Structures are given as structure tokens and as C-alpha cells.
Amino acid sequence: MSYVLGMDVSTTATKALLVDETGKVVGVGSVEYPYDTPRPLWSEQDPRYWWDAAVGAIRKALDQTGVSADEVAAIGLTGQMHGSVLLDDAGEVVRPAILWNDQRTEEECDEIRRRIGKERLIQITGNDALTGFTAPKLLWVQRHEPENWERVRHILLPKDYVRYRLTGEFAIDVADGSGTILFDLARRTWSDEILDALGLDRSLFPDTHEGPDVTGALSAAAAEATGLRAGTPVVAGGGDQSANAVGVGAIRPGIVALSLGTSGVVFAATEEPFTQAEGRLHAFCHAVPDRWHLMGVMLSAAGSLRWLRDAVAPDKSFDELVAGAAEVEPGAEGLMFLPYLSGERTPHPDPHARGAFVGLTVRHDLRHMTRAVLEGVAYGLRDSLQLMMETGLARPHEIRASGGGTRSQLWCQILADVLGTQIATIPDAEGAAYGAALLAAVGAGWFPTADEACAATVTVQPVAEPGDAASHYDSHHPIYQELYPALRFYGRRLD
């Protein structure tokens, strides 16, 4: 038996997943790490955490299964998108990576629009300049840390730093690369026009590759560290959302993926590049060759539930919180929650957006607050789906959901009711890491294409259908949509 290894370099942990030739997950290793918030709304991480965690996760997966190094045919990589990893001439880290959920770069976003023009920027990259993306982070370092910028010789994204430590090669896949907003979306590579306008030298950026392409081989040093075989191929992989879409089979139009992790994502594949005129939806390359995708992103999805638990009920488990919410009728007796705890991206690209409970009374308790959080996140995801449906490219009869939040049957039912669509999950799915493993399987020659890999391995299980509560949510979603415009100016005034 041969195996492939899928690795996910996420914000809170690195996971290594061993998958056999039938598509079965046979082993999982994971190592957690922290991230820093040196100032309000800042978010940074030392890239060396990722490498140490990758080594630990790989060894855990191998030890757990007894799989030998010679049996691992290829490695696929995925991870958190948009982070800025800056290396010097010796390949050493210059400063901590600025992460996807960092909100410090509002002025740099304005500068990008001034230099390029918002309309032209969206035409080329598929996206407006938002604080989460990589490009404004680079301008911020140029402006605020010129001594660090002078040392920069290589710019990578998080998973690609792990690739560098595995292989010694500087490389990036097109899905993750397009999330920098330095890409020509249609051409699937770096945009000379954008780089020139921002004063960024092309030599700083790695070569680009399609998701299943082999980008290098495991070095002797990395083999010794991880317990894998030197020379093992490492494929390009994809950013976490495109890799997750591969893992759930959302690689053709008509299948919508929903990810309910720390952030929340609604994802629809397209067969050609498509841009939404105002840039409220993200448009990126897919990890599958000759495919693209639209994506709506909310920054605090399951992260909102974690915040509630940590801030209000640290002695309770998530299961206990959700069990309490199940005792409350839909609508939480008039309580609503805005999940903008870290600013927002879709449908409101606003780093000053703030979370809020609206409608609190003395009757409400933790059960109502929890129910309002679950419903507020679902309403926010409906905003993204609604934008996609307005393009005519997403008319889902089924949404394939993944992420930690989907372990809750109640939350899946709320999603089905709010979105008005069947919710399905992938049994035993491991999210983006599984998609990275499937891309590695294509790179290893097990399957000729990602389509055939998904057809052979992805099994869908419906878990929730729209029910009696759907009409309530239909009537109350417009009220939810009125709350952000009513409160938006307070975010800036309270900063």
C-alpha cells in the first residue's frame, strides 16, 4: 500500500494527514501553536512555529500508523492564506508573519487604490484592496519598518515557508498566489502591472505552479527531521479554501462549499475568471487547473462561538453551550448577534465593523446568546451566498459543509433553514488537509486529474434539510441586514 500526506498549516495548528490509495484517512497528527496580537486588531505569528509543528505532526502521523517512509508517495500542502512571510538572503525570517485576520493596513489599501484605481485593480486581480490581503501588508512593512524591508529577498505565504523548509525551493501555487492581489487572475501568474505600480520587484516572488504540480523533493535535512524519505515529491497544493473545496468535491460549477471554521467561507467554482464589479466577493484561481472560484468570507464564524465560550462561559464545553441553545426557539426570543468581532470582509469590507448583541433583555441568558451567535453566523453566510446567486453562477441544490462547526447538528440545521438549502457533509472529512492529499495523489500519478480523484474518493452525506424555521429566518434576515448600516459609524468612533 502507498500513501500520500496532506499538510494544513492553519492559524492555530499544523495537521498532517495520511491517506491511502482508496482515499481512506489512516492517520492524523496535529501540533498546536499560538499567535500574537501585539496591538488591537493586529495578528502575527512566527513562521518557525509552523516548521516545528510540521515536523511534530508528520512524526505523530507516522508513529500512529506504522507507515514507513518508503510508503509515502507524495506530500501536498495547504494552509492559511494571505499571510506575509518575509525572508532574507539566507532564507531566515525577517519579522513575524502578518496574518490574514490582521486589520492594520487600511491606509495601505487606500494607497493601492490611488496608485492603480479600484476598477482597474478588480479587473486585473478580481479583488478590491482589503486589509486581510498580502499586498497591503507589504506596503505597510515598507512604510513602517524600512530597516526590515531592506533585508527582504523572498516573499512567501505560510504553507510555502513549510515547503521551503521541506525542499529548499521557493514556490507557490496559483490559488494561494491569487489571494495576494498581486496576480493577473486570467493569466494565473504575477501581474507585472500591479507589481510595477506598487514598486515591488518580481525577483522577490516565487515561481507559480498549478495545484497538482510537483514543486520539489524532500531534502536530506528535512527527511532526517520528519522521518520521511529524502526525494519524496512535494506538490504545489493550494490555499486552505481551494484545497478544502477539492476535499469536498466542489471543483465544478453547481456545487457550493461552505467552511465553518474560525472564519466562515462560501465557495463556488467557475470555469472562467469572473469578477464582481464592486469586489465584494473574492475571485481567485482554483487549485484545480483551468478553474477559478468566487468566495465570500466572514472573519469570525466558529471563532464567534469560541469567543462567547472563552469570554462568558469558560467552564463550559462547546457541546454544553449548543445543548443550551437547542432549548431556545428560532429567533432567540428577539436577540440578534452581529459576528463582526475582527472587522469583516464579505459583504462589508470594513476593518472597523464591530460585533454586537442587539435586543438584549433581562429574560435572555447564555442559552439565548449562544443561539443568537449560531444564527448570526448563518445570516452572515447567507449574505455571501446571496451575492453569489445574484451573479447567476451559484444556484445550489446542496451545500457541502466542512469545518469544526459542522459537528453540531443544531448548527447544520440552522444553516439549512437560513440558507434554504440542503446541507451535506463528507463523512470523516479532514477539510483542507484532505484536499491537499488528493492533489498529492494526482501529482503522484494515482489519478490523471483532480476531477477523477474527487469522483473516486469523496462521499457526500446529507445532514439537514430546510424545515419549519426557514420562514422565520427568511422574514428576519432583512432585519439582520439593517443592523450593520445602523451601527457602522460607531466602530470608527469607538476606535
- 168 phi, psi to nearest 5 deg: 80, 5
Catalytic residue among 102, 173, 176, 240: 240
DSSP 449-482: SHHHHHHHH---EEEE---TTHHHHHHHHHHHHH
- Amino acid identity of 234? V
For residue 454, give the nearest of 251, 258, 289 by alpha carbon. 251
Element (H, E) at 207: strand 207-209
Task: Please say if 240 is a catalytic residue.
Answer: yes
Classify residue 272 by burial, with Cβ atoms within 10 Å: 0-12, 13-18, 19+. Answer: exposed
* Residue 241 contacts residue 436 (beta carbons within 8 Å): no
DSSP state of 180: T
For the CA atoms of 115, 118, 120, 121, what is the dihedral angle to 10 degrees? 80
The CA distance from 92 to 133, in Å, is 23
- 402 phi, psi to nearest 5 deg: -150, 175
The CA distance from 245 to 129, in Å, is 24
Give Cα 40 to chain centroid, integer Å: 22
173 beta partners: 209
Computed from CA positions of residues 243, 246, 247, 252, in that sequence, does the dihedral angle turn out positive or negative? Answer: positive
Tally of helices (H runs) and strands (E runs) in the chain: 17, 24
B/e letters for 204-233, b = 16+ CB within 10 Å, e = fewer, are bbbebbbbbbbbbbbbeebbebbbbeeebb
- 263 phi, psi to nearest 5 deg: -100, 170
Indicate which residues carry an active-site annotation: 240
